[in-house]
């Protein structure tokens, strides 16, 4: 079960996006992401609407928080997870550049969160390893 910690959590919103994106063209994806996911009447009288794209981005932001918490560990699984996070970012970046279906702001934000996850993990591991090494 330790190998489960090595899976980058931001892979899941990317897979969710990709599962929808490969079946549609750019215009259909944009329309799907702009559909209302949740609509609430607030006590102030305002109508709060959350689209599918916003919900996916919020899910990714929550998972980014969990990834940053996971990066504070200096185990082997964290090292493997950081390498996998970088590989997932590279694959996402290639899809973003070359496939029009992935050229949306929602996917760009998820991809940016992947980069932040990798950089945070790298920085935390570098600082932690500096404390573990004693210079005689």
List pLDDT tens digits, range 104-123. Answer: 999 999 999 999 999 998 88
Per DSSP, the residues of 56-118 read: HHHHHHHHHHHHHHHTT--SHHHHHHHHHHHHHHHHHHHHHHH-GGG-SHHHHHHHHHHHHHH
Domain assignments of the chain as residue spans, ordered by start: 10-126
pTM of the model: 0.86
List pLDDT tens digits, range 23-64. Answer: 888 889 999 999 999 999 999 999 999 999 999 999 999 999
């Amino acid at each position: 079960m330790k190998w489960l910690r090595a899976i980058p959590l931001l892979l899941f919103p990317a897979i969710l996006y990709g599962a929808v994106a490969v079946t549609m063209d750019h215009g259909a994806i944009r329309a799907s992401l702009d559909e209302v996911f949740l609509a609430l009447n607030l006590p102030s009288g305002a109508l709060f609407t959350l689209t599918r794209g916003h919900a996916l981005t919020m899910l990714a932001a929550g998972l980014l928080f969990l990834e940053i918490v996971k990066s504070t560990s200096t185990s082997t699984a964290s090292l493997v997870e950081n390498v996998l996070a970088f590989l997932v970012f590279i694959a996402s970046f290639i899809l973003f550049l070359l496939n029009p279906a992935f050229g949306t702001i929602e996917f760009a934000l998820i991809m940016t969160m992947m980069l932040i996850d990798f950089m945070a993990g790298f920085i935390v591991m570098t600082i932690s390893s500096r404390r573990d090494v004693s210079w005689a």
